[in-house]
Amino acid sequence: MWGLVRSGVAPDHPKIKTVAKVFEKVAAEPNFRLFGNIEIGKDIDIEDLTSRYDAVVMCTGSSIGRKLGIPGEDLPGSLSAAEFVPWYNGHPDYSNLDVDLSGTTAVVIGAGNVAMDCARMLAVDPFELDSTDTADHALAKFHTSTIRKVYIAGRRGVEHAAFTAPELRDLPKLEHTDVHIDATQVSEAHARAEAAGEIEKHLASNLEAWRSLAEHPKSGHDRSMEFRFLSAPKEIKGNGKVEEVIFGINKIDNGKVVDTGERYSIPCSLVISAIGYQAAPINGIHFHNGIIENEAGRVLGTNIYTVGWAKRGPSGVIGTNKSDASDVVNLILEDLKEPKATMDIAMLIPSDHQIIDQASWSKINAAEVAAGEPLGKPRVKEVSWAKLLSLGLN
Ligand code: NAP
């Protein structure tokens, strides 16, 4: 429930979660009904919906982490952001994930905002997370963590990084963590971007953020984050668990990324790969290249539509997906001819299966918020399915 807002957005970025207010407004509409705790393809078939409703919109996102495809990726201590993020966000499916923070160094692979979230969560002083809705089990682990150095590795140049400028500009504000980026890598990236033609606004803003990060005075904190660019992961090595990552050093030659053949190693005990996602399969829905097969949001020959990451792939911030959703709503309005009588899908669900409707969700929400109040947190998330469902009954 609440998908990304609950299980994806970093707990130290509460402002991003205010989009939930839009959900609440929609939920207050008299013709809105919520049927939660129902899995398509398991509790109900897609045909049950398509035969009874005018339009079925799949907004199921991308929840599977892409694989690096390098040796050692499956060693204990090597995790995907698709596991680590829902773990610290209290998703019940991940609350028992084995996250070992007993080493000193972690490596995050990928140069996008998800990598940035993972690195920040590992590198900040856990006291900064005490007032957030980080899951209790994760907060306890962060408090005993001995990780002090977090590397973020991008395989291309600084100018190619997918981080957005607001995320970069937030880094110097970290109070207990020094953030390092090699000033030479930044000026070389700037020179390459200039040589390639006029620098567009978004890149100029990112390069400026990098320059100011490089120049930002370091305080000598024992916690640090360090960006390494032109570093392509080649192998994760270790005897029964992660002990080092071997990187190939790339260079940019005439705008192309080229392997120099040189290698270096970062000894570490934890690797998080944050290199993108793909959609999880759903019975009865055709997928192609990690997304639902569709044309501009229409699943051709059906009354199924799709929006967001399930439609386009795992890119774009929440705002991108909001406008994407309204485009698809317009398509539906265009396609709607004679509306069918609305059916109640509750009729299709066995009576002993607990449906979380809006009233049940409000109870869960109120209980979590009330648990957070005395602790100065927005909420304390319940991380067991059984307890979550029982909160919906009270
Ligand atoms: P992303 O922005 O697409 O970044 C993925 C990164 O992984 C890229 O740097 C990519 O490098 C790298 N990569 C891919 N394959 C690789 C490989 N085999 N080896 C090494 N590196 C590899 O994806 P994301 O970080 O998952 O974010 C998804 C979307 O959510 C983005 O639009 C992001 O802005 C958004 N998001 C926003 C926020 C926020 O607003 N605060 C927070 C989290 C996520 P190449 O470019 O070289 O392929």
Q: How do residues 10-51 score in pLDDT, each as one tens digit?
A: 999 999 888 888 889 999 999 899 999 999 988 999 999 998
Residue to mutate, 17, 230, 275, ligand 1, most ligand atoms under 8 Å from C-beta = 275
Assigned architecture for domain 67-275: 3-Layer(bba) Sandwich (3.50)
List the beta strands (DSSP E) in 61-165.
64-65, 78-80, 105-109, 149-153
Residue 118: partners with Cβ closer than 8 Å, 6 or more residues away: 81, 84, 85, 108, 272, 274
Separation CA 19–CA 27 (nearest Å): 13
* Strand 178-180 to 224-228 pairing: parallel
Span from the CA of 359 to the centroid of ligand 1 (angstroms): 36
pLDDT surpassing 90 at residue 319? no
Which tokens go with 42?
């398991």
Which amino acid belongs to residue 27? A
Span from the CA of 25 to the centroid of ligand 1 (angstroms): 31
Residue 135 CB–ligand 1 contact under 6 Å: no
Domain boundaries, the chain: 16-63+279-393, 67-275
Residue to mutate, 117, 155, 228, ligand 1, most ligand atoms under 8 Å from C-beta = 155
Residue 156 CB–ligand 1 contact under 6 Å: yes
For atom 28 of ligand 1, which residue has the closest CA? 315
pLDDT of residue 342: 65
Span from the CA of 111 to the centroid of ligand 1 (angstroms): 6
Question: Where do we find the tokens 């009233």?
Answer: 359
* Strand 149-153 to 64-65 pairing: unpaired
Residue 245 CB–ligand 1 contact under 6 Å: no
Separation CA 211–CA 333 (nearest Å): 47
Which tokens go with 266?
């970062």
Question: Where do we find the tokens 């990324």?
Answer: 257
Q: What count of other Cβ atoms lies within 10 Å of the Cβ of residue 347?
A: 9
Q: Please, are residues 157 and 252 in contact by the beta-carbon 8 Å criterion? A: yes
* pTM for this model (two decimals): 0.96
16-63+279-393 and 67-275, same CATH topology: no
pLDDT digits (tens, 9 = 90+) for 133-180: 999 999 999 999 999 999 999 999 999 999 999 999 999 999 999 999
Assigned architecture for domain 16-63+279-393: 3-Layer(aba) Sandwich (3.40)
pLDDT digits (tens, 9 = 90+) for 336-382: 877 766 667 777 888 889 999 999 999 999 999 999 999 999 999 99
Span from the CA of 47 to the centroid of ligand 1 (angstroms): 34
